[in-house]
Structure 1
Amino acid sequence: MSDTNTANPQMAELWNGPGARSWITAQAVLDQAFHGFETLLADMAAEAGAHAVLDVGCGTGATTRAIAGRITPEGTALGLDLSAPMIAHAESLAEKDGSPARFLAGDAQTHAFPPGEFDLIVSRFGVMFFSDPVAAFANLRRAAKPDARLAMISWRSITENPFMTVAERAAAPLLPDLPKRGGGPGQFAFADQDQVHGILDAAGWTDVSSEALDMVCAFPAAALDTYLSLMGPVGQMLAKSDDATREHVISAIRDGFSEYISGPDIQFTAACWLTRATA
């Protein structure tokens, strides 16, 4: 299913174009790395006895499928993402796995959800990209049943997540036009929890709380080049580069990850927030 109404054309262009292609190509690597978050949210849904769950910014659907597997046949899980290609990939994976998870391509900020549909709304790194976060969370609150719960995982600061910037720091001398991380929507937009609590309060959520969450993540070291060539600002630049430049840059920055090698894996700690609230 698809809803093309969006308040965020810049992000829609990214996540329906190069961003989607990168995530779909790296889907297996990323799902393996972030499996711990998927399990955490699925456990929360099962323990809460949730019957109707919305997964916001679901990407290729790993968390949605995990939740669906824990709460069906009594419950349902719907994954929503701005990226139509990623939703199509999520649907194909669900069909392959025989998962009852459902998916919708749309913008959580503007989508016309039936009022009071969900008793749990979750997100794994999918809520930091709204053009108007207060409007987005107000829309999600309207979609929630009275006393429904919100549980979302977002990144803490750049300085607390050095793994996420190894590639761009190492590649900076080779790629002078490398995009700079800054304010506005993006990976670290929810690092300041005082700001996030203010957003949720303004959107009508109550009982807002946050706890620091440090999750050990790992993926095969053999997949490092795939990760480097696709993800973050470096991946964005390499997608536009010729093969020779791509190989030169990856070779030059690969050594920067040596401290994260643990046996056959790349291992790092993701410094995140688990933020909860009540509708």
Structure 2
Amino acid sequence: MFDYDSELARYHERLRKALDIRPGDRVLDIGCGTGQTTRDAARVASPGTALGIDVSGPMLARAHQQAEAEGLRNVSFVQADAQAHAFPPEHFSLGVSRFGTMFFSDPIAAFANIGRALRPGARFVQLVWQAADRQEWHTAIRAALSRGYAPSTSTEAAVDPFTLADPDVVVGHLTAAGFTAVDVADVREPVYYGPDADRAHAAVLQLLMAKELVTGLDPASAKSALDRLRSTLETHDTGKGVWFDSRAWLVTARRR
């Protein structure tokens, strides 16, 4: 399983500071993955609670294991689609998402459903990716594996991580869903793929993007693609890990 927590460590710190969680908060974490944000929220919110929701069973299994290992009793997880899940109405005092809201089939419906779960005036804080051409991790890896920048495949389009890259679209969706005071701030941090090129190579090949670009290649073409990928990763090996530049939006809003 790809280690998104390590990849996004710099962004995690930026999000943590922006959340301003208070003791007693009830935190809802959308697209929680393996639950790092949820668990961190639970620790700070105690004696409040944190609930993480995600569609991935394997990621949630890891989240449960980690919460149990850390002895957290005020955190819980549910496997469901936040777009349609029946959350308790007006229950949560804070909503959060670390790159987990870009994949909804109907973003306005999803944000409206999340909004109904939040108390009036509650904050909703998200990180979402800016456009693909502002993501060195995206362009460099695709270029290496495809001899140049290749357009997204139809399969990737179904899980497009850049659907909220336009700030006007983000503001429009949230406003239509019942949020107010929407603010979109530019955030730029590097993302991490491993302590060295060898381990970064193994990590990148766990990504859907990389798998799809390599699948179907004949053996010689696949070897060339993987050699180019290794060269790209070696170029980005700083001696303190393999890092790629990236840009995101920190989006804050309030439930009316």
Do the structures match in fold with TM over 0.5?
yes
Does the CA contact (< 8 Å) of 2:22 and 2:44 recur in 1? no
Bigger mean CA deviation after superposition, 82-91 or 249-258: 249-258
Does the CA contact (< 8 Å) of 2:136 and 2:244 recur in 1? no
2:51 is matched with which residue?
A: 78
The alpha-carbon distance between structure 1 residues 181 and 165, as it changes in their structure 2 partners (threshold 3 A), is: farther
- Calculate the TM-score normalised by the size of structure 2: 0.87
Does the CA contact (< 8 Å) of 1:55 and 1:122 recur in 2? yes
What residue identity is the alignment partner of 1:37?
Answer: Y
**Deviation (angstroms), 1:189:** 0.9
**Inter-partner Cα distance in structure 2 for 1:243 and 1:65:** 43
Does the CA contact (< 8 Å) of 1:230 and 1:238 recur in 2? no
Does the CA contact (< 8 Å) of 2:147 and 2:225 recur in 1? no
1:123 is matched with which residue?
A: 97
2:107 is matched with which residue?
A: 133
**Inter-partner Cα distance in structure 1 for 2:39 and 2:123:** 19
What residue identity is the alignment partner of 1:256?
Answer: T
Bigger mean CA deviation after superposition, 30-39 or 99-108: 30-39
**Inter-partner Cα distance in structure 2 for 1:133 and 1:178:** 21
SS at match of 2:174: helix
Bigger mean CA deviation after superposition, 228-237 or 196-205: 228-237
Aligned residue pairs: how many? 251
1:42 and 2:19 matched? no
Match of 1:214 among 188, 192, 215: 188
1:224 is matched with which residue?
A: 200
The alpha-carbon distance between structure 1 residues 85 and 242, as it changes in their structure 2 partners (threshold 3 A), is: farther
Does the CA contact (< 8 Å) of 2:98 and 2:127 recur in 1? yes
2:83 is matched with which residue?
A: 109
1:268 is matched with which residue?
A: 244
Does the CA contact (< 8 Å) of 1:50 and 1:120 recur in 2? no
**Deviation (angstroms), 1:270:** 2.3
What residue identity is the alignment partner of 2:90?
Answer: G
What residue identity is the alignment partner of 2:59?
Answer: M
The alpha-carbon distance between structure 1 residues 124 and 250, as it changes in their structure 2 partners (threshold 3 A), is: same
Per-residue deviation, residues 15-63 of structure 1 (Å, max 9, x unmatched): xxxxxxxxxx222xx2122122223333344455561001100111111
**Inter-partner Cα distance in structure 2 for 1:190 and 1:131:** 12
SS at match of 2:66: helix
**Inter-partner Cα distance in structure 1 for 2:215 and 2:95:** 34
The alpha-carbon distance between structure 1 residues 260 and 181, as it changes in their structure 2 partners (threshold 3 A), is: farther
1:192 and 2:166 matched? yes
SS at match of 2:186: strand
The alpha-carbon distance between structure 1 residues 147 and 269, as it changes in their structure 2 partners (threshold 3 A), is: same
The alpha-carbon distance between structure 1 residues 256 and 216, as it changes in their structure 2 partners (threshold 3 A), is: closer
1:149 and 2:123 matched? yes
Does the CA contact (< 8 Å) of 2:27 and 2:93 recur in 1? yes
- Calculate the TM-score normalised by the size of structure 1: 0.80
1:18 is matched with which residue?
A: none
SS at match of 1:230: coil
The alpha-carbon distance between structure 1 residues 114 and 242, as it changes in their structure 2 partners (threshold 3 A), is: farther
1:251 and 2:224 matched? no
1:278 and 2:254 matched? yes
**Inter-partner Cα distance in structure 1 for 2:42 and 2:217:** 40
The alpha-carbon distance between structure 1 residues 264 and 181, as it changes in their structure 2 partners (threshold 3 A), is: farther
